[in-house]
Structure 1
Amino acid sequence: MQTLMTPATRIGLSVAVATGLYGVSFGALGVAAGLDVLQVVALSALMFTGGSQFAYIGVIAGGGGGGAAFGAATLLGVRNAVYGMQINRMLRPRGWRRLLAAQVCIDESTATAVGQRDPGEQRRGFWAAGLGIYVFWNVCTAAGALLGDAMGDPRRWGLDGAAVAAFLGLLWPRLSAREPVAIAVACALATVLAVPFVPPGVPILVAAAVAAAWGWFSGTKVR
């Protein structure tokens, strides 16, 4: 057991708990948007990418149709395809693991893997975060959907802050040189400027575009 509980595994599980708890908010907001419990649970089990899920129920809550909601969710899910290419190159999953890796390849699992230098730790970090978040997120989604109005406004519980804290914990060790700090500041500024003008979830795509452009023009590999 001690061998399995490596630093990457501990990081992955910590991120899983912090991020998974935010599923309570999705469950409650999904029911409030007019979906039933089974529909909300199915979204988390099948779609399983937080930004896309919140975009979907945001459109539904605003009176939009299923097509518009699906389009918004798909737009935000494009980033997962980019993550998938990186994870495929890094971990080389085969057989059924390839399908499972595709399902749990999200922001947090990718960031946990990329944050490790040892190939074995990259693998352990990815699976600990990906599978851990999948379990916690779906359990918490069901809990939020079932509790519904009894929770009140889920945002006052501060669960979104836990997810942000998890991301900061992954980012902080990477800021060991001037260029990563400069990229982080530029991406944060781009995100803040984009928030008032674009739908929820799109600012992270703007930040990714800024980071990619920086890497392209500077001739360095942005990790």
Structure 2
Amino acid sequence: MRSILRTDPIARDVAALCAAGVVVGLSFGAIASAAGVPLSQIVAMNALVYAGGAQFLAVGMAGAGATAAAIALAGLLLNARHLPFGLAIGNEVLGEGHGARLLGSHLMTDESVAFALAQPDPARRRRAYWLTGICLFLTWNAAAAAGAIAGSALGDPETFGIDAAFPAALLALTLPSLKDRPSLRVALGGAVLALVATPFLPAGLPVLAALLALVLGRKQAS
């Protein structure tokens, strides 16, 4: 195993990515369990939805009392980036068969697309995409299930401060993208919009209102 990681940069990078994915998966499982989501639903969400950021968002909105429609809309908006992802990798990576494209689309993540597009030739792009997608899927499902089991054993989340883990996890996920001024302005604008809208809108909708900051940021950029 060590020799493979030394000689294969793709496998080495995927292994490092999966190690980080274990931490995020454990966090999601514990947060979802603390929010009252049953283990069976957590396992089903991991396998069928498989969208880390959208799953964190869904659990947080559900805990705040948001409606199912608001949660679904927020998830769709958050994952809209997968449309250009699919166009970028195309059949060259996913393959021609309907089954392969369906499975490949389900395994699509930011990391699998980025790893694939970074490769210099089609064969390496296919290998990077599928290796990343499959390994991350297995890692995420196993880690999140373990986190849910551990989280359910802790009892009341407020006793241990687990209720603060959701906003902390989302902040950790967004921090790397806030290095440039436009992204920081959009993030701050969205936070202000959400805070202003909170007293007037039902739970979950202020998060969607915060997306208007993207429009403002685009106008400033142009």
TM-score w.r.t. length of structure 2? 0.70
Name the structure 1 match of 2:109: 106
Task: Give the AA of the match of 1:111.
Answer: A
Change (3 A) 1:162 1:52: closer
Counterparts of 1:128-207 in structure 2, within 5 Å, are 128-150=131-153, 152=160, 153=162, 155=165, 185-186=180-181, 188-190=183-185, 192-194=187-189, 196=191, 197=193, 199=207, 206=214
1:21·1:159 contact (CA, 8 Å) conserved in 2?
no
State the alpha-carbon separation in 1 of the partners of residues 16 and 71 from structure 2.
31
Which residue of 74, 77, 95 maps to 2:76?
74
For these two proteins, the number of residue pairs brought into alignment is: 193
State the alpha-carbon separation in 2 of the partners of residues 194 and 131 from structure 1.
37
Q: CA RMSD in A?
A: 3.6
Structure 2 gap ranges (5+): 155-159, 195-206
Which residue of 64, 67, 70 maps to 2:66?
64
- Give the percent of matched residue pairs that are identical in Structure 1 and Structure 2: 30
State the alpha-carbon separation in 1 of the partners of residues 9 and 173 from structure 2.
20
Task: Give the AA of the match of 1:56.
Answer: A
TM-score w.r.t. length of structure 1? 0.70
Structure 1 gap ranges (5+): 169-183, 218-223
Q: CA deviation at 1:91?
A: 1.5
Name the structure 1 match of 2:197: none
